[in-house]
Amino acid sequence: MRLILITIMGLVIFSCAPDKPQNQEGLPGQSSKNSAVEDILTDPTKGIGAVKSVTLNSPLEQDRISRGLAIYEMKCSACHRLDDKRVVGPGWKDITKNRKPEWIMNMITNVDVMLDQDPEAQKLLELCLMRMPNQNVSIGDARDLLEFMRQNDGEK
C-alpha cells in the first residue's frame, strides 16, 4: 500500500513539474527529476540536489569564511543583504538558523530545480517574484558561502 502511495506521489510531482526541453535535463549540477522525488521523500527540509549531508565544524573554518565573503561580494551581494531586510532576495540574517545547511547549498547550486519543485523555495519565489539566478557556484564554493553565512549569524 505504501509503495503504491509513493508511486502516486511520485506521479503527482512529475505531472506538476513544468515540461523542460529535453536537453536541459543533463545540465551539470542540476539533478534529475527522479532523484528530486527521492530527495523530497527522504527529507523535505534538505531541499533537492547533490548535497545530501553537510558536516559543520566548530570553531568556524576561517579560510572558508574569507573565500565565502569574496564569492558573496562578487555573485550574491547585488540581491542579498546581510541584515534581515529583503531587497531583490531575502536578507541573509539568521538563514543558517532557519534552514538546514543542505537546503541552503542545494538552493545555491541547483536553483532551477529547487524553484520548480521545492515547496519552500517556491514560497520564496511567490514572495520575491524574481527567480533566483543560477550564479554558476560550485558545491565547494557553496560550502564556503555557508561558512560565511554562519559567521554572519554570529557563530564563532
Footprint on this chain of other proteins (rule: CB under 8 A): 21-23, 73-75, 77-79, 87-88, 129-131, 133-137
Shortest distance (Å) from residue 135 CB to other proteins? 4
Residue number with CB closer to other proteins (35 or 134): 134
d(CA 70, CA 47): 25
d(CA 67, CA 21): 35
Shortest distance (Å) from residue 73 CB to other proteins? 4
Q: Is 30 left (phi over 0), alpha (psi -120 to 50) or beta?
A: beta
d(CA 41, CA 88): 31
Count of Cβ atoms closer than 10 Å to residue 156 Cβ: 7
C-alpha cell at 83: 541584515
Residue number with CB closer to other proteins (37 or 145): 145
Residue number with CB closer to other proteins (69 or 95): 69
The count of residues in the chain is 156
Residue number with CB closer to other proteins (78 or 127): 78
Shortest distance (Å) from residue 1 CB to other proteins? 39
Shortest distance (Å) from residue 155 CB to other proteins? 23
